[in-house]
Amino acid sequence: MMPSINIEETFQKFVGLRVLIVGDVMVDSYVTGKVDRVSPEAPVPVVDVKKFDSRLGGAGNVALNIKAMGGIPIICSVIGRDKEGESLKTLLEKEGIYAKALLESEKRKTTTKTRVIGNNHQLVRFDYEDKTDLDSVDAYLLDEHYHRELENCDIVIFEDYNKGVLSKQNIQKYIAAATDAGIPTVVDPKKSNFMEYQGTTLFKPNFKEMKEGLGIETELDTLDEIEEAIVELEKNLKNKRTLVTLSERGVIISDEGSFHRKPAHIRNISDVSGAGDTVISVASLCVALGLNPSITAELSNLAGGLVCEERGVVPIQKERLLSEAKRVFNQS
């Protein structure tokens, strides 16, 4: 049975929550055009370019989702002192997103993913990035930014895309600092640092990431098997709760020894890109308010499904999510 909640009131409480987002911020660029011939130089399509577009990606897309829900995102990251970095700063400024904890480094590249789209199909992607860990100077400067901003936030999101901002050297001390300050932490992990996130409030891998992180090679076809994997994960990480996204099977969240599974809602799926960013964003706001895990899972599941109906990486539309949530919680 779903716990009682006033959806309208809850969404109002999201407004003004300060969310510190630590991790890999990037630019998602799109080159879009029409293909009607093959190149005479090589057997590749020729794209007649119609549009160039750049958007915030990675931790930047999480920031957009937090802002869309009425929260105040604070980006804490490292970018290069390059033209891609200038583009990223322009995008942040355009969106009114706080960027004073954004460190510019001569030694880094600003992660940029450029997708070439022809006739509504992705043809190729170019990645411009630096995956190495921060050097000692950049790590020290990032530490200063983090501890300064931590003093005035309601929750911390660790958005890890394995691009070097988060590492074995800083993850544990960042979690410890937040825990000591009584600030909850949520994690969107990737493979390299998967087991470094000890003692977080909420850990949110997708199904594939959980299997890889635990070294599981079996299919995990049943709900019991998935729950057993989550129990094993929590033994290793000693985290409070785990939210696992299961693609077309919805989501499942742990709740102090029990589990809540929320099936996926029927959608016209257009693009799953960025859905995980939306899920972690809505989940973090729920955690910041101390909402029941079942409600956290339901709202996050709804939000992730809604953005999959949009093409490209886009943030959630708050009013649309509110309308869907009212319907699901019978408060229309």
Cβ–Cβ under 8 Å, residues 75 and 102: yes
* Region class of 119: left (phi > 0), else alpha (psi between -120 and 50), else beta: left
112 and 55 in contact (C-beta within 8 Å)?
A: no
Average pLDDT, the chain: 93
pTM (two decimals): 0.94
How many CB atoms are located within 10 Å of the residue 281 CB? 32
Q: Does 277 participate in catalysis according to the annotation? A: yes
Task: Assign 2 a pLDDT band (cuts: 50, 70, 90).
Answer: low
pLDDT score of 298 more than 80: yes
Identify the structural domains of the chain with CATH numbers, from first to last. Answer: 7-328 (3.40.1190.20)
Tens of pLDDT, residue by residue over 155-200, are 999 999 999 999 999 999 999 999 999 999 999 999 999 999 999 9
Per-position b or e across 85-106, b if 16+ CB within 10 A of its CB: bebbeebbeebebbbebbbbbe
Taking every pair of Cα atoms in the chain, the longest distance, rounded to a whole number of angstroms, is 64
pLDDT level of residue 310 (50, 70, 90 thresholds): confident
pLDDT range class, residue 267, cuts 50, 70, 90: low
Of the CA atoms within 13 Å of residue 158, those in its CB half-sphere come to 34
Specify the pLDDT at position 279.
95
Identify which has the larger pLDDT, 185 or 256. Answer: 185
Residue 270 reports pLDDT greater than 70:
no
pLDDT digits (tens, 9 = 90+) for 196-231: 999 999 999 999 999 999 999 988 989 999 999 999
The pLDDT score that the predictor gives to residue 266 is 62
Q: Does position 291 have pLDDT exceeding 70, yes or no?
A: yes
Neighbouring CB atoms inside 10 A of 5's CB total 17
pLDDT at 269 > cutoff 60: no
Per-residue pLDDT reduced to its tens digit, 61-88: 999 999 999 999 999 999 999 999 999 9
Can you tell me the distance from the alpha carbon of 201 to that of 289, in angstroms, rounded to the nearest whole number?
13
Strongest mean pLDDT among 34-43, 241-250, 270-279: 34-43
pLDDT attached to residue 126: 97
